[in-house]
Structure 1
Amino acid sequence: MILYHKNMNQSTKIQLKSESVLLDKNEIARTADLLSDYIQYLNSVAESQKYEAPESSINLPTDNKMLEVIEQVLLKFKNAQLKYVVVVGIGGSNLGTMAVYDAVLKDQNQQTNPLPQILFADTVSAKSLQNLINILLTCSKANEFAINVISKSGGTTETIANFEIIYSALREKFIDIDRRIIVTTEIDSKLWLESTAKKWSTVSLPNIVGGRYSVFSTVGLIPLALAGLNIQELLGGALQMRNACLQSDNQFNPALLSAVVTFLHYKNGVKINNSFFFNPELESLGKWCRQLMGESLGKQFDSVGTEVRAGITPIVSIGSTDLHSMAQLYFGGPKDKLTTIIYHSETESKLTVPNERMLPSLIVGINGKSPAKLMDAIVGGVAEAYKMNGLPYVTLQLPTISAETLGELLQFKMLETMFLAHLMNLNAFDQPNVEDYKSGTKKLLEST
């Protein structure tokens, strides 16, 4: 059976193909119908244009007031001398930004006229922090960098500690460093109050929008815009996908179809979700997807308080590298994984395997072929291997890797997660057990 997400009116660029889902078409339709009321509810959230429901992140792509705030930040911080944008944040405060940056902008920093580079300070690592500080100390003046401290709650241990270390290391050389600091946090958080008191540039995000759903808010848009991304294209892609995913027909709603396929396999014991990326620049996107699924669906209790210990374990694979480390497990091991192959067939380049080769007797059929042609064949071979071994998979085809398609893909995954959580009777927007390590960490720090 082959199921396709139909690209109605060419509203979205991404194509979802369910070529080997190993599920009954009627069962897919019946399960999709279970989400009809929830989709109606999401439409009402979108029509309200307010930030009152946990799902209100779907309104970020149309928030013009937010864009006005961002424009004011850009006027103050973006200049011809800007070389580095430092994102001090962790989890939902930096993974979405990193996903878009690595996919769309990072390679441009190796070209003749590079855009500002984003440097990420997330985990607490002396070596990583020292390397970052050394880079910033090469600047001759503060105008060459901007530091964006991001913590929704305002009390993230890693973020505050990293900022204090960076600030302390730079303030002697850059006595005007305070004017190069942007703080992104909830209004009236402790960080908000401290930041405004120090007269740092301070911007908010809607309190109801969770960190892992905040990439289209000031959290992601400010550093990406400073680094040169066209955020209008990013938001345009997100809006196109949102509108497609607010339809009740799974033929036209890719997030609905993907969520239903994932849920039905979950019910059948397939509880590992493998995102298999065949463009290495999308690896950070995989880490963002991992957080989104892990935090949203890994729950001790369901929505009515019954202990369920639910969850789908997300893993990230990179092709073709992981075909030489994990493929044996995937094809020969337990049938407990649903795989999504995510791939953009690259445009042809001048690089090809020469016809007159140094090792002509090795590997038939590669003469004259570009890296893109080789990878196309590898992806096709992987799909055949899944079919041969009776393993379920779906394919997400990307026509380009651009701000617009990243906007579509991020929005697709967020709505897919909301649909999945609803089918699993889980709260997609909290993460109560994360507090277990946070409270333990703070107790240990305060006692020493």
Structure 2
Amino acid sequence: MALTLDYTNMFLPGAVTDADWAESAGRFRGAHAAVMGKHGRGELGFLDLPADAALLAQTTQFAAAARGKWTDVVVLGIGGSALGPIALRTALRPFAWNAIPDAARGGQPRLHVLDNVDPDTILATMEALPLERTLFLVISKSGGTAETMAQYLLVRGALDARFGARAVEHLVFVTDPEKGSLRPIARAQNVAALDIPANVGGRFSVLAPVGLLPAALIGIDVAALLAGAEDMRRRCVEADGELGANPAGAFAVLQWLAHARHGRGIHVLMPYADPLRDFAAWFVQLWAESLGKIQPDGTSVGPTPVPALGATDQHSQVQLFMEGPADKTVTFLAVAGREGRGPIPALHGDVPDLAYLGGHTLGALLDIERRATAGALAARGRPNMTLTVDAVDPWHVGGLIMLLELATAYAGELYGVNAFDQPGVELGKRFTYGMMGRPGFDAARAEFEGLPQSDPRRRV
């Protein structure tokens, strides 16, 4: 079992140089030491999640008790509370999991993730669900996220109307162990509740019950997921600042060098595997919300992450990657060992455009297309690297999660920003609270109302 990062194609004319790499070794040792120092002070709880036996027990015991009771599980959440569960479902359950007949799912429930407050989606989902066999996971560390709490209130109203006092049997909260609005409700009304450790931020929480509980409820081996994450954590930490032995460090440094030294600040993550397609969306939040910041001197910094999918986006975005502005890096996610899957029949031998495909496989075609795209980009001077996993299984997915989370922590140090806050989203939240009438936000409402309003002369 292995995860490997091949960054040969990052070293191209006009991109990262050997001198860049050599000079960055000392800077990375400082970044690694800073991350380890924060962890030692108890600030980076995501690094402790793989070995947290108590949290794992919370998850597996609840999932075991719930087995066979529910046909549908619904996650109410947004951002890190939703993207992780979606990525795990797509990667580690069969394709179109929710559409598979019940018997073929082996009695495991469907998993729905309501990651927005669009009334069309929410109301249609509620109308289609068999409420008597549905469990709702309300995921919010603070218990104050407007979107998730609005979802909860709508769902709670429907459950109360249908089941009365038994409504709480259809709910489980995933929230802070002590703080926030959900924990007191859980205690007062005997709602099941699992913990998000206080030192684990939302976008770093997929290996907490945020991601583990939905995964366990649909039959994913969450112990193996954590084991893979722990292996990667140990691999990176034990490298002790040696850049060439640390895949998370290499990823972070190469992306930072390509941006800071060579102006390539758009970072594409492009899985060549449908099961990993939603990891690109998860990565976008992780990279963007963590690194797009204002430095203490007032300078705005941060890369722009972009999701893509191979081979689908060879027929759309790759044209831009090849011949558009030279401001991008591309990281391919590859899966080894699938070359024998999906034999292509040798038919229409008299049609050259079809005949050459016969005798090959879909797996080989997809992998060849990835290699061809990487080579074509390199030939045009467009830097790229390839992260390969031996299989899409819980162990390797856990390792991939830890690699990208730890790379984000390193990149925060390299960019000189705090990778674990999100001040840029707070003003919009305050305006929302003010306009919705939340107590304590009158000043935010007044500030919003003092902004320029829509001008009829500037509408068409």
Cα shift readout 1:25-46 (whole Å, capped 9, x = no counterpart): 3431331322324434545666
Matches within 5 A, 1:269-418: 269-300=263-294, 302=295, 305-345=296-336, 347=338, 351-357=342-348, 360-363=351-354, 365-418=356-409
Query: Would you say the 8 A contact 2:302–2:415 is kept in 1?
Result: no
Instruction: Give the whole-Å Cα distance in 1 for the aligned partners of 2:19 and 2:246.
Output: 16
Superposed CA RMSD:
2.2
Instruction: Give the whole-Å Cα distance in 2 for the aligned partners of 1:364 and 1:17.
Output: 33
Gaps of 5+ in 1: 1-11
Query: Would you say the 8 A contact 2:272–2:367 is kept in 1?
Result: no
Aligned to 2:155: 166
Aligned to 1:128: 121
**One-letter amino acid of the counterpart of residue 69, structure 2:** Q
SS of equivalent to 1:362: helix
Cα shift readout 1:240-290 (whole Å, capped 9, x = no counterpart): 111111112222210111111111111121110000111122221111100
Matches within 5 A, 1:222-261: 222-246=213-237, 247=239, 248-261=241-254
Query: Would you say the 8 A contact 1:341–1:395 is kept in 2?
Result: yes
Verify: 1:439 aligned to 2:439, yes or no: no
Instruction: Give the whole-Å Cα distance in 2 for the aligned partners of 1:401 and 1:271.
Output: 29
Residue 19 (structure 1) aligned to one of 8, 11, 20: 8
SS of equivalent to 2:199: coil
Cα shift readout 1:62-109 (whole Å, capped 9, x = no counterpart): 111222322442344x22232222111100112112111111114255
Aligned to 2:189: 198
How many angstroms does 1:188 deviate by? 2.2
Verify: 1:180 aligned to 2:170, yes or no: yes
Gaps of 5+ in 2: 438-444, 450-460
TM (norm. structure 2) is 0.87
Aligned to 1:68: 57
How many angstroms does 1:319 deviate by? 1.1
Verify: 1:425 aligned to 2:425, yes or no: no
**One-letter amino acid of the counterpart of residue 288, structure 1:** W
How many angstroms does 1:193 deviate by? 1.4
Query: Would you say the 8 A contact 2:35–2:409 is kept in 1?
Result: no
SS of equivalent to 1:133: helix
SS of equivalent to 1:118: strand
Moved more, 429-438 or 127-136: 127-136
Instruction: Give the whole-Å Cα distance in 2 for the aligned partners of 1:372 and 1:129.
Output: 37
SS of equivalent to 2:243: coil
C-alpha spacing 1:333/1:364, structure 2 compared with 1 (3 Å): farther
Instruction: Give the whole-Å Cα distance in 2 for the aligned partners of 1:345 and 1:135.
Output: 39
Cα shift readout 1:372-414 (whole Å, capped 9, x = no counterpart): 1111221121012111101100101111111111101110001
Query: Would you say the 8 A contact 2:281–2:307 is kept in 1?
Result: yes
